[in-house]
Amino acid sequence: MSFIPTPELIASGHEKAIARAISWVENQHPSSLELLENLSGNTPVIGVTGPPGAGKSSLVNALVLHWSQLNLRTAIVAVDPSSPFNLGSLLGDRLRMPGLFLDPKVYIRSLSARGSLGGLSASIIEVCDVLKHAQFDRIVIETVGVGQSEIEIAGIADTTLVVSVPESGDEVQTLKSGIMEIADIFVVNKCDREGADAFANHLKKLAHYRMGEDQWEIPVIQTMATDSLGIQALSDAIDLHQKLGISTHRKEQLLSEKAYRLIQRNRMKNVGIETLKQEIAIEIQAGTFNLYRFAKKHY
């Protein structure tokens, strides 16, 4: 008999149960929905996004090592580009997070984006629900880094970090209308580079004008992840944002869309494409086919 991941095993931190449960939800195993119905948890989710080359993986590595030293357990979900041939994860070995693999307080799972818009895996909400039930202290989602379409992360994460580098200064006007709009915290990584202070000041002005009704003025943290510079300040900013419990309507919108897709999937589970093709062929042959009448029969 194959191994069955139970809610009890997942809650105990059983790594095989966690891994199997994630595989179940990724592949829509017949028992995955029943499993998800029995999971719960409120672990804070931190999203890390930004353009390619900003050093997101190095930043996550340094931040999670810092939390590990504080005896906190962290789960990392690294969403990678998909192979065009097998839809697998091209960077699944996470070579840029070398300090975390042997740490017993850190769990790392790579997911393939599989062509999903927003830079995220289609099953990311379910994966996070499994990890929340496993009672980690933090969940970190690192996105593919494909650009402005990554705003989906803001609907999942409780705190979203937008990571950039000093050279991004020329792109600020473009970024403002897209990915910059989702930031709870700006991170200027590789701050030893020329222009870092000027770029950080520019972001601070932008953050000041973007203060919303929640009165959260987005902090701008300068870091050099490879030397752990600024990591304490970044961790403190994340903790403060979590403590204030600031939320938006983005999460409700995303969950509404996910609920819609689940309801749609459930209603269509007994409708196979091959069966539809056969029925359509018969009606076409008889000269009676009408797309809208045909679809109405299967509502």
Predicted local distance difference test score (pLDDT) of residue 246 = 74
Predicted local distance difference test score (pLDDT) of residue 190 = 93
Predicted local distance difference test score (pLDDT) of residue 84 = 39
Average pLDDT over residues 112-132: 73
User: Which of 36-40, 53-57, 263-267 is predicted most confidently?
Assistant: 36-40
Separation between Cα atoms, residue 78 and residue 92, nearest integer Å: 8
Average pLDDT over residues 127-145: 91
Average pLDDT over residues 112-119: 53
Predicted local distance difference test score (pLDDT) of residue 23 = 93
Residues 6+ apart with CB under 8 A from 157: 45, 46, 47, 141
Torsion of CA 79, 45, 252, 123, to 10 degrees: 30
Residues 96/160, Cβ–Cβ less than 8 Å:
no
- Residue 151's pLDDT band, with cuts at 50, 70 and 90, is low
Say what percent of the chain tops pLDDT 90: 43
Q: What is the DSSP string of the chain?
A: ------HHHHHTT-HHHHHHHHHHHHTT-TTHHHHHTT------EEEEE-STTS-HHHHHHHHHHHHHHTT--EEEEEEEPBPTTT--BTTTT-TT-TTTTT-TTEEEEEEE-TT-GGGS-TTHHHHHHHHHHTT-SEEEEE----SGGGGGHHHH-SEEEEEE-GGGGGGHHHHHTTGGGG-SEEEE-STTSTTHHHHHHHHHHHHHHT--TT--PPPEEE-BGGGTBTHHHHHHHHHHHHHHT---SHHHHHHHHHHHHHHHHHHTTT--HHHHHHHHHHHHHHT---HHHHHHHT-
Predicted local distance difference test score (pLDDT) of residue 118 = 47
- Residue 175's pLDDT band, with cuts at 50, 70 and 90, is low
Q: What is the mean pLDDT of the chain?
A: 82
Q: Model confidence over 12-29: pLDDT tens digits?
A: 999 999 999 999 998 889
> Nearest Cα to 67, choosing from 121, 146, 136, 12?
136
> Per mean pLDDT, which range of 84-98, 114-128, 153-167 is the poorest?
84-98
Separation between Cα atoms, residue 190 and residue 160, nearest integer Å: 19
Predicted local distance difference test score (pLDDT) of residue 150 = 56
Residue predicted with more confidence, 175 or 228: 228
Separation between Cα atoms, residue 161 and residue 107, nearest integer Å: 20
Distances from the Cα of 67 to the Cα of 30, 75, 219, 229, 245, angstroms: 36, 11, 20, 14, 20
pTM across the whole model: 0.82
Predicted local distance difference test score (pLDDT) of residue 43 = 94
Q: Model confidence over 41-98: pLDDT tens digits?
A: 899 999 998 888 888 989 999 999 999 999 999 999 988 755 433 444 444 445 556 6
- For the cut 70, the answer to whether the pLDDT of residue 155 exceeds it is yes
> Nearest Cα to 35, choosing from 108, 114, 106, 123?
123
All domains in the chain, ordered by first residue: 1-39 (no CATH), 42-253 (3.40.50.300), 270-299 (no CATH)
Separation between Cα atoms, residue 12 and residue 4, nearest integer Å: 14
> Nearest Cα to 107, choosing from 122, 88, 87, 127?
127
